[in-house]
Amino acid sequence: MRIMPKVTNNLARRILQRKSDPCASQTPAPSENTWQQVPAKFLTFETLPAYTNMRMMQEAARGLGIGDPFFKMHEGQASVVTRVNGKTCTNFSHYNYLGLSGHKEVNAAAIEAIQRYGTTAGASRLVAGERPVQRELEEALAKVYDAEDALVFVSGHATNVSTISTLFGPKDLVIHDQLAHNSILEGIRLSGATRRSFPHNNASFLDNTLRDLRSRFERVLIVVEGLYSMDGDIPHLPTLIAIKKRHGAFLMVDEAHSLGVLGASGRGIAEHFDANFKDIDIWMGTLTKALGTCGGFIAGSKILVDILKYHAPGFVYSVGISPPLAAAALAALKVMQREPERIMRLRQNSQAFLDYARKLGLNTGLSQGFSIVPIIVGSSKKAVQLSNELYERNINVQPIIYPGVEEQVARLRFFLSCDHQDEDLKKTCQTLKGLI
Protein backbone atom coordinates (compact mmCIF):
# COMPACT_ATOMS: atom_id res chain seq x y z
CA MET A 1 0.00 0.00 0.00
CA ARG A 2 2.81 2.38 0.90
CA ILE A 3 4.43 2.18 -2.48
CA MET A 4 1.26 3.07 -4.34
CA PRO A 5 1.82 6.85 -4.40
CA LYS A 6 5.31 6.36 -5.83
CA VAL A 7 4.02 4.00 -8.54
CA THR A 8 1.22 6.42 -9.42
CA ASN A 9 3.66 9.32 -9.55
CA ASN A 10 6.03 7.43 -11.84
CA LEU A 11 3.16 6.44 -14.09
CA ALA A 12 1.91 10.03 -14.27
CA ARG A 13 5.40 11.28 -15.06
CA ARG A 14 5.79 8.75 -17.89
CA ILE A 15 2.44 9.64 -19.42
CA LEU A 16 3.28 13.32 -19.26
CA GLN A 17 6.72 12.72 -20.75
CA ARG A 18 5.24 10.73 -23.60
CA LYS A 19 2.99 13.64 -24.45
CA SER A 20 5.75 16.21 -24.57
CA ASP A 21 8.54 14.05 -25.95
CA PRO A 22 7.91 12.03 -29.13
CA CYS A 23 10.94 9.85 -28.38
CA ALA A 24 9.94 9.13 -24.80
CA SER A 25 8.32 5.81 -25.63
CA GLN A 26 11.78 4.50 -26.57
CA THR A 27 13.54 5.98 -23.54
CA PRO A 28 13.41 3.67 -20.52
CA ALA A 29 12.77 5.33 -17.20
CA PRO A 30 16.04 5.69 -15.28
CA SER A 31 16.56 2.96 -12.71
CA GLU A 32 17.83 3.48 -9.15
CA ASN A 33 21.49 4.60 -8.79
CA THR A 34 23.68 1.72 -7.71
CA TRP A 35 27.13 3.25 -7.98
CA GLN A 36 27.19 4.36 -4.33
CA GLN A 37 27.21 0.68 -3.30
CA VAL A 38 30.26 -0.09 -5.45
CA PRO A 39 33.61 -0.08 -3.60
CA ALA A 40 35.63 2.90 -4.84
CA LYS A 41 38.41 0.66 -6.13
CA PHE A 42 36.08 -0.72 -8.81
CA LEU A 43 35.28 2.73 -10.16
CA THR A 44 38.79 3.37 -11.51
CA PHE A 45 41.46 1.63 -13.60
CA GLU A 46 44.15 2.90 -11.22
CA THR A 47 43.65 -0.10 -8.92
CA LEU A 48 44.08 -2.71 -11.66
CA PRO A 49 47.07 -4.97 -10.79
CA ALA A 50 48.51 -4.30 -14.27
CA TYR A 51 48.66 -0.59 -13.46
CA THR A 52 49.93 -0.88 -9.90
CA ASN A 53 52.69 -3.31 -10.98
CA MET A 54 53.74 -0.98 -13.77
CA ARG A 55 53.87 2.01 -11.39
CA MET A 56 55.88 0.03 -8.84
CA MET A 57 58.42 -0.98 -11.48
CA GLN A 58 58.69 2.58 -12.81
CA GLU A 59 59.16 3.99 -9.31
CA ALA A 60 61.73 1.32 -8.41
CA ALA A 61 63.66 2.13 -11.60
CA ARG A 62 63.51 5.87 -10.84
CA GLY A 63 64.72 5.21 -7.29
CA LEU A 64 67.70 3.30 -8.67
CA GLY A 65 68.40 6.03 -11.22
CA ILE A 66 67.56 3.72 -14.18
CA GLY A 67 65.94 5.45 -17.16
CA ASP A 68 63.05 3.90 -19.11
CA PRO A 69 64.43 2.18 -22.24
CA PHE A 70 61.01 1.66 -23.83
CA PHE A 71 59.07 3.70 -26.42
CA LYS A 72 62.05 5.64 -27.76
CA MET A 73 61.09 8.01 -30.54
CA HIS A 74 62.95 7.11 -33.77
CA GLU A 75 63.26 9.67 -36.53
CA GLY A 76 63.49 7.33 -39.53
CA GLN A 77 62.74 3.81 -40.70
CA ALA A 78 63.41 0.59 -38.80
CA SER A 79 66.84 -0.34 -40.10
CA VAL A 80 70.39 -1.11 -38.95
CA VAL A 81 71.16 2.55 -38.34
CA THR A 82 68.62 4.71 -36.54
CA ARG A 83 68.38 8.23 -35.18
CA VAL A 84 66.84 8.74 -31.76
CA ASN A 85 66.74 12.24 -30.23
CA GLY A 86 69.29 13.41 -32.76
CA LYS A 87 71.65 10.56 -31.86
CA THR A 88 72.76 8.00 -34.48
CA CYS A 89 72.77 4.41 -33.23
CA THR A 90 73.54 0.96 -34.57
CA ASN A 91 70.13 -0.64 -34.26
CA PHE A 92 69.41 -4.20 -33.13
CA SER A 93 65.77 -3.65 -32.21
CA HIS A 94 63.77 -4.35 -35.35
CA TYR A 95 62.63 -7.35 -37.37
CA ASN A 96 63.72 -5.95 -40.71
CA TYR A 97 65.89 -9.05 -41.16
CA LEU A 98 66.31 -8.76 -44.92
CA GLY A 99 66.35 -4.96 -45.18
CA LEU A 100 63.12 -5.05 -47.20
CA SER A 101 61.20 -2.38 -45.30
CA GLY A 102 62.33 0.81 -47.02
CA HIS A 103 63.59 -1.10 -50.10
CA LYS A 104 62.85 1.00 -53.17
CA GLU A 105 60.82 -1.66 -54.99
CA VAL A 106 58.77 -2.32 -51.87
CA ASN A 107 58.11 1.39 -51.36
CA ALA A 108 57.24 1.82 -55.04
CA ALA A 109 54.73 -1.06 -54.88
CA ALA A 110 53.05 0.50 -51.85
CA ILE A 111 52.90 3.93 -53.50
CA GLU A 112 51.42 2.51 -56.70
CA ALA A 113 48.80 0.62 -54.70
CA ILE A 114 47.89 3.79 -52.80
CA GLN A 115 47.46 5.66 -56.06
CA ARG A 116 45.23 2.93 -57.43
CA TYR A 117 43.28 1.79 -54.36
CA GLY A 118 43.82 4.38 -51.64
CA THR A 119 44.93 3.34 -48.17
CA THR A 120 42.09 1.14 -46.95
CA ALA A 121 40.56 -2.18 -47.98
CA GLY A 122 37.24 -0.49 -47.25
CA ALA A 123 35.83 -3.04 -44.82
CA SER A 124 36.04 -6.76 -44.13
CA ARG A 125 36.73 -8.50 -47.43
CA LEU A 126 33.41 -10.30 -47.12
CA VAL A 127 31.72 -6.91 -47.23
CA ALA A 128 34.03 -4.74 -49.27
CA GLY A 129 35.12 -7.41 -51.73
CA GLU A 130 38.63 -8.15 -52.90
CA ARG A 131 41.46 -6.19 -54.49
CA PRO A 132 43.62 -8.26 -56.85
CA VAL A 133 46.77 -7.55 -54.86
CA GLN A 134 45.34 -9.26 -51.75
CA ARG A 135 44.74 -12.49 -53.65
CA GLU A 136 48.10 -12.24 -55.46
CA LEU A 137 49.84 -12.05 -52.09
CA GLU A 138 47.89 -15.06 -50.80
CA GLU A 139 48.68 -17.09 -53.90
CA ALA A 140 52.39 -16.22 -53.57
CA LEU A 141 52.41 -17.21 -49.88
CA ALA A 142 50.60 -20.48 -50.64
CA LYS A 143 53.32 -21.24 -53.19
CA VAL A 144 56.09 -20.58 -50.64
CA TYR A 145 54.51 -23.19 -48.35
CA ASP A 146 53.53 -25.60 -51.12
CA ALA A 147 49.98 -25.19 -49.87
CA GLU A 148 46.63 -25.24 -51.66
CA ASP A 149 45.73 -21.76 -50.44
CA ALA A 150 46.53 -19.00 -47.96
CA LEU A 151 44.63 -16.28 -46.13
CA VAL A 152 46.01 -12.94 -44.95
CA PHE A 153 44.86 -11.26 -41.72
CA VAL A 154 45.61 -7.69 -40.64
CA SER A 155 47.74 -8.76 -37.68
CA GLY A 156 50.02 -11.68 -36.90
CA HIS A 157 48.78 -11.80 -33.32
CA ALA A 158 45.15 -11.87 -34.45
CA THR A 159 45.99 -14.63 -36.95
CA ASN A 160 47.01 -17.02 -34.18
CA VAL A 161 44.21 -16.02 -31.82
CA SER A 162 41.52 -16.31 -34.46
CA THR A 163 42.79 -19.44 -36.17
CA ILE A 164 43.29 -21.59 -33.08
CA SER A 165 40.04 -20.47 -31.48
CA THR A 166 38.05 -21.09 -34.67
CA LEU A 167 39.37 -24.58 -35.31
CA PHE A 168 39.47 -26.06 -31.80
CA GLY A 169 37.00 -26.33 -28.94
CA PRO A 170 36.29 -27.77 -25.50
CA LYS A 171 36.57 -31.42 -26.57
CA ASP A 172 40.04 -30.87 -28.04
CA LEU A 173 43.59 -30.68 -26.73
CA VAL A 174 46.18 -28.11 -27.77
CA ILE A 175 49.72 -28.84 -26.69
CA HIS A 176 52.42 -26.26 -27.26
CA ASP A 177 56.08 -25.63 -26.64
CA GLN A 178 56.57 -23.93 -23.29
CA LEU A 179 58.10 -20.88 -25.04
CA ALA A 180 55.18 -20.38 -27.43
CA HIS A 181 54.24 -16.79 -28.26
CA ASN A 182 51.45 -15.04 -26.35
CA SER A 183 49.19 -15.04 -29.44
CA ILE A 184 49.20 -18.85 -29.42
CA LEU A 185 48.30 -18.97 -25.74
CA GLU A 186 45.50 -16.44 -26.21
CA GLY A 187 44.12 -18.46 -29.12
CA ILE A 188 44.05 -21.61 -27.01
CA ARG A 189 42.43 -19.78 -24.10
CA LEU A 190 39.68 -18.47 -26.34
CA SER A 191 39.12 -21.88 -27.96
CA GLY A 192 38.15 -23.49 -24.66
CA ALA A 193 40.34 -26.50 -25.55
CA THR A 194 42.39 -28.22 -22.86
CA ARG A 195 45.88 -26.71 -22.86
CA ARG A 196 49.11 -28.54 -22.10
CA SER A 197 52.70 -27.45 -22.66
CA PHE A 198 55.91 -29.40 -23.06
CA PRO A 199 59.37 -28.29 -21.94
CA HIS A 200 61.13 -26.28 -24.62
CA ASN A 201 62.03 -28.47 -27.62
CA ASN A 202 61.55 -31.63 -25.57
CA ALA A 203 60.00 -33.92 -28.20
CA SER A 204 60.03 -37.06 -26.07
CA PHE A 205 58.00 -35.28 -23.37
CA LEU A 206 55.50 -34.32 -26.08
CA ASP A 207 55.42 -37.88 -27.39
CA ASN A 208 54.83 -39.36 -23.93
CA THR A 209 52.13 -36.82 -23.10
CA LEU A 210 50.26 -37.66 -26.27
CA ARG A 211 50.64 -41.38 -25.64
CA ASP A 212 48.95 -40.84 -22.25
CA LEU A 213 46.33 -38.25 -23.23
CA ARG A 214 45.47 -38.70 -26.90
CA SER A 215 42.48 -40.99 -26.41
CA ARG A 216 40.69 -38.51 -24.12
CA PHE A 217 40.22 -35.88 -26.82
CA GLU A 218 38.67 -35.45 -30.23
CA ARG A 219 41.10 -33.25 -32.20
CA VAL A 220 44.63 -32.62 -30.98
CA LEU A 221 46.85 -29.77 -32.11
CA ILE A 222 50.61 -29.47 -31.55
CA VAL A 223 51.88 -25.88 -31.87
CA VAL A 224 55.53 -24.90 -32.25
CA GLU A 225 57.48 -22.00 -33.69
CA GLY A 226 59.86 -22.29 -36.63
CA LEU A 227 62.38 -20.05 -34.86
CA TYR A 228 61.87 -19.08 -31.24
CA SER A 229 61.63 -15.35 -30.86
CA MET A 230 63.22 -15.02 -27.42
CA ASP A 231 65.92 -17.64 -27.73
CA GLY A 232 66.80 -17.91 -31.41
CA ASP A 233 66.70 -21.71 -31.60
CA ILE A 234 64.62 -24.08 -33.71
CA PRO A 235 62.67 -27.29 -33.11
CA HIS A 236 63.57 -30.57 -34.82
CA LEU A 237 60.76 -30.59 -37.37
CA PRO A 238 61.17 -34.17 -38.67
CA THR A 239 60.71 -35.52 -35.12
CA LEU A 240 57.58 -33.42 -34.63
CA ILE A 241 56.15 -34.69 -37.91
CA ALA A 242 56.73 -38.28 -36.79
CA ILE A 243 55.04 -37.58 -33.45
CA LYS A 244 52.03 -35.90 -34.97
CA LYS A 245 51.56 -38.84 -37.35
CA ARG A 246 52.01 -41.38 -34.56
CA HIS A 247 49.24 -39.81 -32.47
CA GLY A 248 46.82 -38.56 -35.11
CA ALA A 249 47.40 -34.90 -34.25
CA PHE A 250 47.54 -31.72 -36.31
CA LEU A 251 50.80 -29.80 -36.45
CA MET A 252 50.86 -25.99 -36.58
CA VAL A 253 54.12 -24.12 -37.13
CA ASP A 254 54.38 -20.38 -36.45
CA GLU A 255 56.89 -19.08 -38.97
CA ALA A 256 56.83 -15.46 -37.79
CA HIS A 257 60.62 -15.39 -37.42
CA SER A 258 61.63 -18.21 -39.76
CA LEU A 259 60.13 -17.08 -43.07
CA GLY A 260 62.95 -15.34 -44.94
CA VAL A 261 65.46 -16.55 -42.37
CA LEU A 262 65.64 -20.36 -42.53
CA GLY A 263 66.27 -22.38 -45.68
CA ALA A 264 68.49 -21.41 -48.61
CA SER A 265 65.67 -19.52 -50.31
CA GLY A 266 63.96 -18.35 -47.11
CA ARG A 267 61.04 -20.81 -47.24
CA GLY A 268 61.44 -21.46 -43.55
CA ILE A 269 61.89 -24.47 -41.34
CA ALA A 270 60.59 -27.11 -43.79
CA GLU A 271 63.18 -26.00 -46.33
CA HIS A 272 65.83 -25.99 -43.60
CA PHE A 273 65.14 -29.67 -42.81
CA ASP A 274 64.21 -30.62 -46.37
CA ALA A 275 60.88 -31.79 -44.97
CA ASN A 276 57.63 -32.23 -46.86
CA PHE A 277 55.68 -28.97 -46.47
CA LYS A 278 52.42 -30.93 -46.69
CA ASP A 279 53.19 -32.75 -43.43
CA ILE A 280 52.42 -29.51 -41.60
CA ASP A 281 48.67 -28.96 -41.32
CA ILE A 282 48.69 -25.26 -40.44
CA TRP A 283 51.42 -22.91 -41.58
CA MET A 284 51.19 -19.58 -39.80
CA GLY A 285 53.41 -16.62 -40.58
CA THR A 286 53.62 -12.87 -40.33
CA LEU A 287 54.30 -10.14 -42.86
CA THR A 288 55.88 -8.09 -40.09
CA LYS A 289 59.36 -9.57 -39.89
CA ALA A 290 61.38 -10.49 -42.99
CA LEU A 291 58.66 -9.08 -45.26
CA GLY A 292 58.86 -5.73 -43.49
CA THR A 293 55.16 -4.79 -43.45
CA CYS A 294 52.17 -5.66 -41.28
CA GLY A 295 49.78 -8.61 -41.05
CA GLY A 296 49.71 -12.36 -40.64
CA PHE A 297 48.73 -15.36 -42.73
CA ILE A 298 47.69 -19.00 -42.66
CA ALA A 299 48.68 -21.39 -45.43
CA GLY A 300 47.35 -24.92 -45.77
CA SER A 301 44.58 -26.94 -47.37
CA LYS A 302 41.73 -25.31 -49.25
CA ILE A 303 39.32 -26.66 -46.61
CA LEU A 304 41.30 -24.99 -43.82
CA VAL A 305 41.44 -21.67 -45.63
CA ASP A 306 37.75 -21.77 -46.53
CA ILE A 307 36.76 -22.43 -42.92
CA LEU A 308 38.83 -19.46 -41.73
CA LYS A 309 37.61 -17.24 -44.57
CA TYR A 310 34.01 -17.66 -43.46
CA HIS A 311 34.38 -18.23 -39.72
CA ALA A 312 37.56 -16.75 -38.22
CA PRO A 313 36.36 -13.61 -36.36
CA GLY A 314 39.72 -11.87 -36.91
CA PHE A 315 39.12 -12.17 -40.66
CA VAL A 316 35.34 -12.00 -41.01
CA TYR A 317 34.77 -9.12 -38.56
CA SER A 318 37.98 -7.23 -39.25
CA VAL A 319 38.99 -5.04 -42.15
CA GLY A 320 40.96 -6.66 -44.99
CA ILE A 321 44.68 -6.02 -45.33
CA SER A 322 45.12 -2.57 -46.86
CA PRO A 323 46.14 -2.73 -50.53
CA PRO A 324 49.44 -0.80 -50.05
CA LEU A 325 50.52 -3.21 -47.31
CA ALA A 326 49.55 -6.23 -49.42
CA ALA A 327 51.45 -4.78 -52.37
CA ALA A 328 54.50 -4.03 -50.20
CA ALA A 329 54.54 -7.54 -48.72
CA LEU A 330 54.19 -9.09 -52.18
CA ALA A 331 57.04 -6.94 -53.53
CA ALA A 332 59.19 -7.86 -50.50
CA LEU A 333 58.52 -11.56 -51.13
CA LYS A 334 59.60 -11.16 -54.75
CA VAL A 335 62.85 -9.41 -53.77
CA MET A 336 63.52 -12.13 -51.18
CA GLN A 337 63.05 -14.83 -53.81
CA ARG A 338 65.13 -13.02 -56.41
CA GLU A 339 68.00 -12.16 -54.04
CA PRO A 340 68.74 -15.18 -51.84
CA GLU A 341 72.09 -13.52 -51.07
CA ARG A 342 70.20 -11.40 -48.54
CA ILE A 343 69.38 -14.57 -46.63
CA MET A 344 73.01 -15.67 -46.84
CA ARG A 345 74.24 -12.30 -45.54
CA LEU A 346 71.73 -12.45 -42.69
CA ARG A 347 72.99 -15.92 -41.79
CA GLN A 348 76.64 -14.80 -41.92
CA ASN A 349 75.93 -11.76 -39.75
CA SER A 350 73.93 -13.78 -37.23
CA GLN A 351 76.61 -16.47 -37.02
CA ALA A 352 79.37 -13.85 -36.74
CA PHE A 353 77.56 -12.03 -33.92
CA LEU A 354 76.99 -15.32 -32.09
CA ASP A 355 80.68 -16.26 -32.48
CA TYR A 356 81.97 -12.86 -31.28
CA ALA A 357 79.68 -13.00 -28.26
CA ARG A 358 80.57 -16.58 -27.35
CA LYS A 359 84.31 -15.95 -27.70
CA LEU A 360 83.98 -13.07 -25.24
CA GLY A 361 82.21 -15.37 -22.79
CA LEU A 362 78.78 -13.71 -23.13
CA ASN A 363 75.84 -15.99 -22.37
CA THR A 364 73.98 -16.49 -25.65
CA GLY A 365 71.62 -19.11 -24.23
CA LEU A 366 70.18 -21.49 -26.79
CA SER A 367 70.74 -19.28 -29.84
CA GLN A 368 71.71 -21.09 -33.01
CA GLY A 369 72.61 -17.91 -34.85
CA PHE A 370 69.56 -17.44 -37.08
CA SER A 371 68.79 -13.71 -36.81
CA ILE A 372 68.01 -13.71 -33.04
CA VAL A 373 70.75 -13.76 -30.41
CA PRO A 374 69.91 -13.12 -26.76
CA ILE A 375 72.58 -12.14 -24.28
CA ILE A 376 71.33 -13.41 -20.94
CA VAL A 377 72.33 -11.16 -18.07
CA GLY A 378 70.40 -12.70 -15.17
CA SER A 379 68.14 -9.91 -13.90
CA SER A 380 65.64 -7.44 -15.25
CA LYS A 381 67.43 -4.56 -13.53
CA LYS A 382 70.74 -5.45 -15.15
CA ALA A 383 69.13 -5.89 -18.57
CA VAL A 384 67.55 -2.42 -18.38
CA GLN A 385 70.79 -0.85 -17.10
CA LEU A 386 72.85 -2.44 -19.88
CA SER A 387 70.34 -1.39 -22.53
CA ASN A 388 70.60 2.21 -21.29
CA GLU A 389 74.40 2.12 -21.10
CA LEU A 390 74.66 0.72 -24.62
CA TYR A 391 72.30 3.43 -25.83
CA GLU A 392 74.64 6.04 -24.31
CA ARG A 393 77.32 4.43 -26.50
CA ASN A 394 75.14 4.65 -29.64
CA ILE A 395 73.92 1.06 -29.65
CA ASN A 396 70.17 0.49 -29.55
CA VAL A 397 69.04 -2.88 -28.17
CA GLN A 398 65.98 -3.61 -26.06
CA PRO A 399 65.97 -5.47 -22.77
CA ILE A 400 63.60 -8.39 -22.33
CA ILE A 401 62.56 -8.44 -18.70
CA TYR A 402 60.17 -10.29 -16.41
CA PRO A 403 57.34 -11.21 -17.14
CA GLY A 404 58.38 -11.43 -20.82
CA VAL A 405 60.88 -14.07 -19.65
CA GLU A 406 61.70 -15.58 -16.25
CA GLU A 407 63.62 -13.12 -14.04
CA GLN A 408 66.83 -15.18 -13.92
CA VAL A 409 67.04 -15.26 -17.72
CA ALA A 410 66.32 -11.56 -18.33
CA ARG A 411 68.29 -10.52 -21.37
CA LEU A 412 69.19 -8.15 -24.14
CA ARG A 413 67.75 -9.43 -27.39
CA PHE A 414 69.69 -8.70 -30.56
CA PHE A 415 67.91 -8.92 -33.91
CA LEU A 416 70.40 -9.22 -36.74
CA SER A 417 69.89 -7.99 -40.27
CA CYS A 418 71.58 -8.71 -43.60
CA ASP A 419 72.56 -5.02 -43.65
CA HIS A 420 74.58 -4.95 -40.41
CA GLN A 421 78.31 -4.32 -40.89
CA ASP A 422 80.74 -6.85 -39.47
CA GLU A 423 82.75 -4.21 -37.58
CA ASP A 424 79.56 -3.00 -35.86
CA LEU A 425 78.77 -6.54 -34.72
CA LYS A 426 82.26 -7.02 -33.27
CA LYS A 427 82.30 -3.56 -31.65
CA THR A 428 78.88 -4.13 -30.08
CA CYS A 429 79.96 -7.41 -28.46
CA GLN A 430 83.16 -5.81 -27.17
CA THR A 431 81.31 -2.79 -25.79
CA LEU A 432 78.82 -5.03 -24.04
CA LYS A 433 81.57 -7.21 -22.60
CA GLY A 434 83.19 -4.05 -21.19
CA LEU A 435 79.96 -3.16 -19.39
CA ILE A 436 79.07 -6.55 -17.89
CB nearer to ligand PLP: pick between 91 and 183: 183
CB of 435 to ligand PLP, least distance (A): 27
Rounded to an integer, what distance in angstroms lies between the CA atom of residue 232 and that of residue 214?
30
CB of 79 to ligand PLP, least distance (A): 18
Contact set for ligand PLP, span 202-231 (CB under 6 A): 225, 229
Rounded to an integer, what distance in angstroms lies between the CA atom of residue 331 and that of residue 242?
36
Phi, psi of 291, deg, nearest 5: -85, 0
Is residue 162 near ligand PLP by the rule CB under 6 A?
no
Instruction: Choose among 180, 123, 122, 187: nearest CA to 157.
Output: 187
Stretch that binds ligand PLP, among 59-67, 155-163, 265-273, 317-325 (CB under 6 A): 155-163
CB nearer to ligand PLP: pick between 93 and 286: 286
User: What residue type is assigned to position 414 of the chain?
Assistant: F
| Residue selected from 91, 93, 134, 155 as contacting ligand PLP according to rule CB under 6 A | 155
Extended beta strands in 193-294, E state: 194-198, 220-225, 250-254, 282-286
Please provide the size of the chain in residues. 436
Contact set for ligand PLP, span 240-259 (CB under 6 A): 254, 256-257
The CA-based angle 85-231-344, given to 5 degrees, is: 80
3-state secondary structure of 116: helix
Q: How many CA atoms lie within 13 A of 159 on its CB side?
A: 29
Q: Which H/E stretch holds residue 107? A: helix 104-117
**Residue 342 and residue 99 in contact, taking contact as beta carbons nearer than 8 Å:** yes
Residue 426 burial class via C-beta count within 10 angstroms: exposed 0-12, middle 13-18, buried 19 and up = middle
CB of 230 to ligand PLP, least distance (A): 8
- # of chain residues touching ligand PLP (CB under 6 A): 14
| Residue selected from 82, 96, 101, 160 as contacting ligand PLP according to rule CB under 6 A | 160
Dihedral sign computed on CA atoms, order 386, 73, 321, 106: negative
Residue 66 burial class via C-beta count within 10 angstroms: exposed 0-12, middle 13-18, buried 19 and up = middle
Is residue 286 near ligand PLP by the rule CB under 6 A?
yes
Is residue 233 near ligand PLP by the rule CB under 6 A?
no
CB of 256 to ligand PLP, least distance (A): 4
Stretch that binds ligand PLP, among 1-9, 36-44, 150-158, 414-422 (CB under 6 A): 150-158
What are the start-end ranges of the H helices in 2-103? 4-20, 49-63
CB of 158 to ligand PLP, least distance (A): 7
Is residue 176 near ligand PLP by the rule CB under 6 A?
no
Query: Residue 48's CB: how many other CB atoms inside 10 A?
Result: 11
3-state secondary structure of 204: helix
CB nearer to ligand PLP: pick between 266 and 296: 296
CB nearer to ligand PLP: pick between 51 and 70: 70
CB of 229 to ligand PLP, least distance (A): 4
CB of 101 to ligand PLP, least distance (A): 13
CB nearer to ligand PLP: pick between 263 and 295: 295
CB nearer to ligand PLP: pick between 223 and 425: 223
CB nearer to ligand PLP: pick between 229 and 322: 229
| Residue selected from 183, 191, 197, 398 as contacting ligand PLP according to rule CB under 6 A | 183
Residue 41 burial class via C-beta count within 10 angstroms: exposed 0-12, middle 13-18, buried 19 and up = exposed
**Residue 413 and residue 384 in contact, taking contact as beta carbons nearer than 8 Å:** no
CB of 95 to ligand PLP, least distance (A): 7
3-state secondary structure of 150: strand
Is residue 156 near ligand PLP by the rule CB under 6 A?
yes
CB of 272 to ligand PLP, least distance (A): 16
CB nearer to ligand PLP: pick between 280 and 429: 280
**Residue 173 and residue 221 in contact, taking contact as beta carbons nearer than 8 Å:** yes
Phi, psi of 7, deg, nearest 5: -60, -45
Is residue 296 near ligand PLP by the rule CB under 6 A?
yes
CB of 54 to ligand PLP, least distance (A): 21
User: Which residues in this chain contact ligand PLP in the complex, by CB under 6 A?
Assistant: 155-157, 160, 181, 183, 225, 229, 254, 256-257, 286, 288, 296
